[in-house]
Amino acid sequence: MTNWKTCRIVNRRNEPDGNSWIRFDLDDYISYRTHIGGTCNEKHIYCVNRSPFDDYCPGDYLEIDLDETSSHSSSVRRVTNPTSTALVRVQEQNSSL
């Protein structure tokens, strides 16, 4: 069973790398594995700057697969393919999460 965590987007900004990534700042922490095998907690996630992520803004919600984030290094926390097995599912503010 997937371990989903719902976080509200509190800020959104395009990264200065040619705007190919969106950084979503979240209202709660997500755990990632560090490069030395420990864990770190961060209140943001990066998503590729294309549909469906490019339509979401502060006030919307992301459902994040904590099993996936805890098995990925904090340097590999970027969601690139929204149609594959989802690391992140996006939900609108008024949805029934």
Mean pLDDT to the nearest integer, 59-85: 63
- Within the chain, how many helices (H) and strands (E) appear? 1, 6
User: Backbone phi, then psi, for 30, in 5-degree steps?
Assistant: -125, 140
The mean of the pLDDT values for the chain is 74
Taking alpha carbons only, the member of 59, 49, 61 closest to residue 88 is 61
Confidence tier at 18 by pLDDT (50, 70, 90):
low
User: Backbone phi, then psi, for 66, in 5-degree steps?
Assistant: -70, -25
Q: What strands, in cross-sheet order, belong to the sheet with 61-65?
A: 78-79, 39-48, 21-33, 4-14, 61-65, 88-91
Determine if the pTM surpasses 0.75: no
Q: Which residue has the higher pLDDT, 4 or 19?
A: 4
Residue 80 has pLDDT above 80, yes or no: no
Tell me how crowded residue 94 is: count the other CB atoms within 10 A of its CB.
9
